Amino acid sequence: MIFLFTANCLLITEFNMARYTGPKCRRCRKEGIPLFLKGERCETIKCPITKKKGPPGPHKKFRKKPTEYSEQLRAKQQVKRTYGVMEKQFRRYFHNAAKHKGKTGLNLLLVLEMRLDNVVKKLGFASSLAAARQVVLHKHIKVNGKTVNIPSYEVKINDKIQITNSLKENLFVKKSMEISSQKGISPWLSLDMENLTGTVIRQPVREEMAIPYNEERPKEQLIVELYSK
């Protein structure tokens, strides 16, 4: 009976994780870093990470020191949530990364960075990853002149990513383009503002990726450790 109960709960949790609809910045608190799931919000005082310390939820007193496993798990969750990828797909990315030459952890982050939804966000066509995904799914993005509506599409060097004319006057697009042009485009991408076309100049280096680099305990290394168990 107890087993049944736990099994049920797991199902529910998995379901909720897949389509998490709760407060986005609660996840910033959980991971201890701003995840920018709502775009610029995490840079303002609206993101609770600036006020409330520690993870969300009750019973903080009883929380134990992080274990090796919990650190590895958090690293994985943080990366997964940053790029909006679910467990199954994430695992697939990991196994592909392990097959390729070079460091598995770095390969993994690289392929996540090169996802079309991430690049659309980085070019400023959308203010958050969720918005970028929407723009892609609704067929507003062309890669080398062809419509691509797959957010996980992997861009390559020299690919030209363009937003369709119908969105050029869109207020949300205009606003996020404004913000991103103030901040500057990532150096591995270039943007032709007039034609609203971005180009992938090269692959990003580690320091240019969304997950901050931690010299002592690189997150990507923790993920490799977790999956090598």
List of residues contacting Zn ion (CB under 5 A): 25, 28, 34, 42, 47
Residue 215 tokens read as: 């010299």
Nearer to Zn ion, 32 or 66 (CB): 32
**Is residue 142 packed enough to be buried (19+ CB in 10 Å), middle (13-18) or exposed (0-12)?**
middle
Nearer to Zn ion, 33 or 148 (CB): 33
Min dist. Cβ of residue 216 to Zn ion (A): 25
Dihedrals phi, psi of 198, to nearest 5 degrees: -105, 155
Nearer to Zn ion, 25 or 119 (CB): 25
Min dist. Cβ of residue 39 to Zn ion (A): 10
Min dist. Cβ of residue 47 to Zn ion (A): 3
Min dist. Cβ of residue 146 to Zn ion (A): 35
**Contacts for 203 with CB less than 8 Å, ≥ 6 apart:** 110, 113, 114, 157, 188
Min dist. Cβ of residue 1 to Zn ion (A): 40
Nearer to Zn ion, 28 or 123 (CB): 28
Distance CA 196, CA 61 (A): 51
Which residue from 151, 164, 149 is spatially nearest to 197, judged by alpha carbons?
164
Nearer to Zn ion, 42 or 119 (CB): 42
Order of strands, edge to edge, in the sheet holding 146-147?
A: 146-147, 141-143, 160-163, 197-200, 189-192
Nearer to Zn ion, 34 or 105 (CB): 34
Number of residues assigned to the chain? 229
Asked whether 201 and 169 are in contact (CB, 8 A), the reply is no
Distance CA 225, CA 136 (A): 33
Min dist. Cβ of residue 35 to Zn ion (A): 6
